[in-house]
Amino acid sequence: MNCWQTIQDYGLRSLGYGERLLPRSDFTLCDQFTLIGSGMIWNVYFGAIALVTGFFFATLLAVGKASHNRLARKSSEWFIFLFRGSPLFIQFFFAYFLFLSLKSVSPFFNPLSSAGMGALVVLFLNTSAYSAEIFYGALQSIPKGDVEAADAYGITGVPRFRRILWPTMLRLAWPAYTNEAIFLFHATTLVFFSGFPAWRQKGDALYYANYFADKTFNPFIPYPILAGYFILLTLIVIGLFGVVNKRLNRHLPKEQRRKIRYRPQLMR
């Protein structure tokens, strides 16, 4: 069986298309590359959707934490503490069993106990909390002059936030937010090891890498492949965020622009 055939059979295996059975013996390099790459679809799916939806919620939370309204401030503070203070791994476990017991309450919750939806909800809440803390920090360090200038022009309320505070907040937060995005993608590998079942062996990249390592008892091939895929993903994320960063900083003179430095904030 040549490699093209393998890609056709297993390229979309993680979504349930193609060959039903995973290869059982005589693993070729091509098998491993294809299946682990196929698993990456899930990692990208979780990461991308949680990032985009989490972005809006994080903005809301950051504004809530910075507001003078006691109720809004306290509730955002607690939310952020809850999700930043506990391990993501335990959050996954707890959420999974919570969704399982909700399932018996109402069939409405059925999709939540599958990895595709349930884990996404947890990742969404988690990344919202982490990004909200970053955005809050940026909101606190907006130059006083910018706000005063807005006041002088008579811009207040929502327009002031949308046109003055928000762009500056994003510009200041962007380097840190890039790192958060990278680590969100890394965190997606936890999903299938934390209770959420890989139904019909449809798992993510680490799931397949682990499968190969278990079957061949040789970790030196699948894990480096996985590492290669993730380094590639990281580079893509840095590239995309770099474009946005350029746009956010386009009004500044060249030497004042802040470069994105890869400074990982580690795992959760």
Partner 1 sequence: MGFYISFGTVLLLLAITAPLALLFGFGGAMAARSHFPPLSWIGRGYIAIVRGVPDIAFFLFFVIALDQGFEWARHKVLCPEWTDPIRQGNDFVVCAAAKMPLSSSPQWMHETYGFSLAVLTFSIVFGAFAANVLNGAMGAVPRAQVETAEAYGMSHRQTFWRITVPQMWVYALPGLSNLWMVLIKSTPLLFLLGVEDIVYWARELGGFKTARFTAYPHPDWRMWYFLALLVFYLGFTRVSEIVLTRLTNKLSHGQATTGGEAQRRAEA
Sign of CA dihedral 62, 64, 65, 67: positive
Taking CB under 8 A as the rule, does residue 59 contact partner 1? no
Binding pattern for the stretch 96-135 against partner 1, x by CB under 8 A and - elsewhere: -xx-xx----------------------------------
**Are the beta carbons of 18 and 12 closer than 8 angstroms?**
yes
Minimum CB separation of residue 191 from partner 1 in Å reads 10
Tokens of 182: 């990278």
Residue with tokens 């061949």: 216
Binding pattern for the stretch 195-214 against partner 1, x by CB under 8 A and - elsewhere: -----------x--xx--x-
Residue with tokens 């013996």: 25
Taking CB under 8 A as the rule, does residue 76 contact partner 1? no
Taking CB under 8 A as the rule, does residue 29 contact partner 1? no
Q: Which span (8-16, 85-93, 157-165, 166-174) binds partner 1, by CB under 8 A?
A: 85-93
Q: What angle do CA 75, 49, 61 make, to 5 degrees?
A: 15
Q: Select 65 or 268, whichever has its Cβ closest to partner 1.
A: 268
> Contacting partner 1 (CB under 8 A), which of 1, 3, 82, 240?
82
Taking CB under 8 A as the rule, does residue 81 contact partner 1? yes
Minimum CB separation of residue 129 from partner 1 in Å reads 13
Binding residues for partner 1, total number by CB under 8 A = 42
> Contacting partner 1 (CB under 8 A), which of 10, 124, 130, 230?
230
Taking CB under 8 A as the rule, does residue 223 contact partner 1? yes
64-102: string of b/e by CB count within 10 Å (b at 16+)?
bbbeeeeebeeebeebbeebeeeebeebbeebbeebeee
* Cα distance between residue 44 and residue 116, in whole Å: 12
Phi-psi map region of 260: left, alpha, beta (phi>0 left; psi -120 to 50 alpha): beta
For residue 170, the Cα-to-chain-centroid distance in whole angstroms is: 18
Minimum CB separation of residue 46 from partner 1 in Å reads 13
* Cα distance between residue 23 and residue 105, in whole Å: 39
Positions in the binding site for partner 1 (CB under 8 A) = 25, 81-82, 85-91, 93-94, 97-98, 100-101, 186-187, 189-190, 193, 206, 209-210, 213, 215-220, 223, 226-227, 230-231, 234, 264-268
